[in-house]
Amino acid sequence: MAERGAMKWVITFTVIVVATLELVDSTIVNVSLPQIMGSLGATIEDIGWLVTSYAVANVIILPMSGWIGMRFGRKKYFLTSIIVFTVASFLCGNAQSLQALIAFRVLQGLAGGGLLSTCQAILLETWPREEIGMATALFGLGAIVGPTLGPTIGGYITDHFSWPWIFYVNIPVGIAAAAMVVAFVKDYRLPIKMSIDWSGILLLIVGVGSLQIFLEKGNSEDWFATPYIAILAFVVLICGILFVWRELSTPHPVVNFKILRHKSFALGIITSFLFGFGLLTSFFVLPIFCQNLLGFNAQQTGTMIMYGGIATIILLPFVGMALKRGVPAQLICLCGMIFFLVFTQMLSRFTLSSGLEDFLLPIVIRGIGLSLLFVPITTLALQDVPPEEMGQATGLNNMMRQLGGSLGIAIITTIISSRFALHRSHLAEYISPYSPHFNERFNIAVRGLVAKGYGFVEAKQLALQSMNGTIIKQTYLLTYTDAFWISGIIFMIAIPFIFMQRFKKKVKVAEVG
| The pLDDT value given to residue 71 | 79
Residue-wise pLDDT tens digits, 22-47: 777 766 776 676 678 777 877 656 66
- What is the pLDDT at residue 510? 37
Whole-prediction pTM: 0.74
pLDDT bracket for residue 2 (50, 70, 90): low
Q: Residue 434 has what pLDDT?
A: 60
Most confident of 270-284, 383-397, 413-427: 270-284
For residue 225, the model assigns a pLDDT of 79
Higher pLDDT, 78 or 186: 78
Question: Helices (DSSP H) in 185-262: which residue ranges?
Answer: 198-217, 227-249
Q: Report how far Cα 316 is from the mean position of its chain's Cα atoms.
A: 18
Q: What is the 3-state secondary structure (H, E, C) of 197-218?
A: CHHHHHHHHHHHHHHHHHHHHC
Instruction: Please tell me the predicted confidence (pLDDT) of residue 435.
Output: 64
- Which run of H or E residues covers position 94? none
Residue 358 has pLDDT above 90, yes or no: no
* pLDDT at 91 exceeding the cut of 90: yes
User: Do 276 and 59 meet the contact criterion of CB atoms below 8 Å apart?
Assistant: no
Tell me how far CA of residue 180 lies from CA of 10, 11, 295, in angstroms.
9, 8, 44
The span from the CA of 207 to the CA of 216, in Å, is 14
* 1-194 CATH: 1.20.1250.20
Question: Mind listing the pLDDT tens digit for each residue in 441-476?
Answer: 767 777 777 777 777 777 777 777 777 777 788 888
Alpha-carbon dihedral 182, 85, 381, 16, rounded to 10 degrees:
60
Confidence of residue 99 (pLDDT cuts 50, 70, 90): confident
Query: Which pLDDT value is given to residue 191?
Result: 66
Q: For the CA atoms of 480, 32, 175, 119, what is the dihedral angle to 10 degrees?
A: 10
- Tell me, what's the pLDDT at 509? 41
In angstroms, the CA 302 to CA 299 distance is: 5
Architecture of domain 256-513: Up-down Bundle (1.20)
The pLDDT, as a whole number, for residue 513 is: 36
User: Cα angle vertex 303, ends 300, 305, to 5°?
Assistant: 110
